[in-house]
Amino acid sequence: MRFPLSMTAGLAGYIARNKISPRPEWQVTAEPAARTANPFHIIHTRTGTATPAKPHPMIRKRFPLVLMLEPLHACNLTCTGCGRIREYETTITKRLSVEQCLRAVDECGAPVVSICGGEPMIYPEIGRLTSEIVNRGRHIYLCTNGMFMVKKLKEFQPNDTFFFNVHLDGMEKNHDIAVEREGVFREAIDGIRAAKAAGFKVCTNTTVYRETDMAEIEELFGYLEQFGVDGHMIAPAYGYSAVNDREIFMTRDDIIAKFQDIDRLGRRFRINNSPVYLDFLRGERELPCTAWGNPTYNVKGWKGPCYLITDAHYETFEQLMTQTPWEHYGHGNDPRCDHCMVHCGYEPSAALGINSKLSDTIKLLSWALR
Ligand code: SF4
């Protein structure tokens, strides 16, 4: 089975409950005068009359699925594609307290918490933070470059709801180029090996850049089989405001071409992205952006609208949900979203069954049970 049964069943129940009775306080829409957050909003007009874009199918059923929790932005590396160390340069020395992190976890109630950053393994109380979140019945993906896993492993307890998610963008040579330091791949592999030997669940997380050769990603997943890795997340690199000037990011057409063969990879390896999202990456279906499904919380507050674009930081989760002009984002609504196919915006749409086909239920079930 791809995920622990408790996780699959818990998530299915959570989604069903929220779809049937969405929390009314999160569905409120701010007054037009207050909806100034997006200066790039495309105003749809027809013969001089303002006409609204097609309404989002879930706009009145908003709820979070995965909280992106960034306790700090400091990192021991300066990876080429990282927007965080650039966007949050002025607050790079700041960090959230464990209590602030837990308040965010409680406030939004998302069943999955992805702890990212920065490098969360250098957060001084990372062990206590993860155990408090596990004790709240949440599932954790601890995203790490893997360099401190061997040293800090004793701060964690193996648990079916806790996954290390190790960043690997290629085999040794190309991964070390992407993270701009030699030896990182080797240390990450040592970390994976140690964590698996100690009984932890370990996934990997790979970003595919314009220059990435998909044959190398296949080689990487094949190489990782010997360590008993529990699954792989994969996502295209898409340029956004903090890193847009670089040439390593892909357009929508580049992404579709790059991921044409992803199904074959998915049959050979345990890829944790849903098959519906993979269809989207292959250009076989359209999905609307559901950025509220993946809210981000960090030292500046609740980041809106999404993990990638920052038009505002809100003090409370409810403000993020109700004051973000959600319909101003996504393809056709904001030029910054035109090429976006990243999983923080679209994986929730796949999980929620938006634009679903009849065959999706069988496809999703066989994927989850495999
Ligand atoms: S389309 Fe992408 S960049 Fe735009 S709001 Fe959604 S996730 Fe963010």
DSSP structure string for 250-319: --HHHHHHHTTTHHHHHHHS-B-S-HHHHHHHTTSS-----GGGS-EEETTEEEEE-SS-EEEEESSHHH
Answer yes or no: is pLDDT of 5 > 80: no
Cα→Cα distances 134→68, 127, 143, 152, Å: 15, 11, 15, 18
Return the pLDDT at 155.
97
Answer yes or no: is pLDDT of 250 > 80: yes
DSSP at 50: E
Return the pLDDT at 75.
93
Output the CA 271–ligand 1 centroid distance in Å. 23
Rg (the chain; Cα; Å): 20
Coil, helix or strand for 192? helix
**Which is more confident, 127 or 347?**
127
Asked if 148 and 122 count as a contact pair (C-beta separation under 8 A), the reply is yes
Percentage of residues of the chain with pLDDT beyond 70: 91
Ligand 1 atom nearest to 341, measured from its CA: 2
Q: Average of pLDDT values for 302-308?
A: 95
Q: Please give the class, per CATH, of domain 63-369.
A: alpha beta
Answer yes or no: is pLDDT of 160 > 90: yes
What angle (nearest 5°) sits at the alpha carbon of residue 233, between those of residues 103 and 136?
A: 25
Return the pLDDT at 321.
96
Mean pLDDT of all residues in the chain?
90
Return the pLDDT at 354.
78
**Which is more confident, 142 or 352?**
142
The mean-pLDDT minimum among 6-20, 102-116, 304-318 falls in 6-20
Return the pLDDT at 240.
63
Ligand 1 atom nearest to 290, measured from its CA: 6
Using CA positions, which residue lies closest to atom 3 of ligand 1?
337
**Residues forming a β-bridge with 201:** 163
Answer yes or no: is pLDDT of 50 > 60: no
Answer yes or no: is pLDDT of 169 > 90: yes
Assign 357 a pLDDT band (cuts: 50, 70, 90): confident
Answer yes or no: is pLDDT of 344 > 80: yes
Per the structure block, which two tokens stand in for 177?
């180029």
Output the CA 165–ligand 1 centroid distance in Å. 23
Output the CA 79–ligand 1 centroid distance in Å. 22
**pTM for the full predicted model:** 0.93
Answer yes or no: is pLDDT of 318 > 80: yes
Percentage of residues of the chain with pLDDT beyond 90: 68
Assign 201 a pLDDT band (cuts: 50, 70, 90): very high
Q: Average of pLDDT values for 242-260?
A: 81
Output the CA 368–ligand 1 centroid distance in Å. 26
Answer yes or no: is pLDDT of 129 > 80: yes
Ligand 1 atom nearest to 240, measured from its CA: 3
Q: Average of pLDDT values for 138-146?
A: 97
Output the CA 309–ligand 1 centroid distance in Å. 7
Q: Is the distance from the beta carbon of residue 308 to the nearest atom of ligand 1 less than 6 Å?
A: yes
Q: Is the distance from the beta carbon of residue 340 to the nearest atom of ligand 1 less than 6 Å?
A: yes
The mean-pLDDT minimum among 203-212, 321-330, 338-347, 352-361 falls in 352-361
Ligand 1 atom nearest to 340, measured from its CA: 2
Which of 62, 243, 255, 289 for mutating ligand 1's site (highest number of atoms within 8 Å of CB)? 289
Question: Which amino acid, one-letter code, is at 305?
Answer: P
Asked if 191 and 165 count as a contact pair (C-beta separation under 8 A), the reply is no
